[in-house]
Amino acid sequence: MPSTDPKFRVVIFADCHLPVTSGHPDFTSFLHTLKEVAKQTKTIVLLGDVFRVWAAIPVFDHENGHALLEAVKSLSEKCRTIMVEGNWDFYIERAYFDCFDEISEDAIEIESGGEHCVFVHGHMDHLFSDRLLMRLLKSSLARALFQWKRFSGLARKLIRIFQEGELSKQVRQDELIKVAGRLGKRFPGSDRIFVGHFHQFWQHGRVIGIPDYHGTHSFLGLSEKPALYRFNDDRISLV
């Protein structure tokens, strides 16, 4: 049952890019943060790219993914849990839809505190090449190919190359303004649109970009107004 007097209406973790190595301290630290923050909010949102790669197929399976799912299910009495897939999350909605209160490959809209809020990762609203690649990779054919050992070995090599570039990228402000324009047209009735993917804090009109947890260890908390927070020494503090 959710807390009767939570600190936040919504807490959003974006682009965690958590390690997939079992027992990695960064992963266990995140689980602790997630469980403690859940005591202080009505809703937790995982806004895509939760792990360095997360695919609901045997060849890319890892213990940390299952540990996170168990943690999420255990939070159901404390708060609502939402996940939006990013460009490094594959087939999670199709395989684990029953582990979250809401999950989507695209976007989720909720009412919170009298506001209509939208949560979207953002990769499908940036470059045409990204949209085309994601449609191909998340197709049924690609899912079948990923389970073929020779193809999966090549895929792992490509993933390492692409991730090195993504984690170090810096998107220009004019590109972010275009993204905000696309999102505004997609969700015309929204009050706030929260977006990840770009690994930086930015705001343009109703659109708020959330920095990556991977690089900043910060998350966005929405009470009266959105702000960035960290969880250190078992305390939540403003960034």
Q: Give the pLDDT confidence of 150-176 residue by residue, as tens digits.
A: 666 666 666 665 655 565 667 899 999
- Report the pLDDT value the prediction gives residue 42, as an integer from 0 to 100: 96
Question: Could you tell me the pTM of the whole model?
Answer: 0.89
Given 3.60.21.10, 3.40.50.720, 3.40.50.10860, 2.60.40.10, which CATH number is that of 8-238? 3.60.21.10
DSSP H/E element including 44: strand 41-46
| In contact, 39 and 21? CB cutoff 8 Å | no
Residue at token pair 């209509």: 116
- Report the pLDDT value the prediction gives residue 203, as an integer from 0 to 100: 97
Say if strands 80-84 and 41-46 run parallel, antiparallel, or are unpaired: parallel
Bridge partners, 10 (sequence order): 43, 222
Residues of the chain with pLDDT under 50: 1
Provide the 8-state DSSP code for 10.
Answer: E
Token readout for 78 is 């404390």
Q: Which residues contact 138 (CB under 8 A, 6 or more apart)?
A: 90, 91, 105
- Report the pLDDT value the prediction gives residue 152, as an integer from 0 to 100: 62
Domain locations in the chain as residue ranges? 8-238
Q: How far is it, in rounded angstroms, from Cα 94 to Cα 92?
A: 5
- Report the pLDDT value the prediction gives residue 1, as an integer from 0 to 100: 47
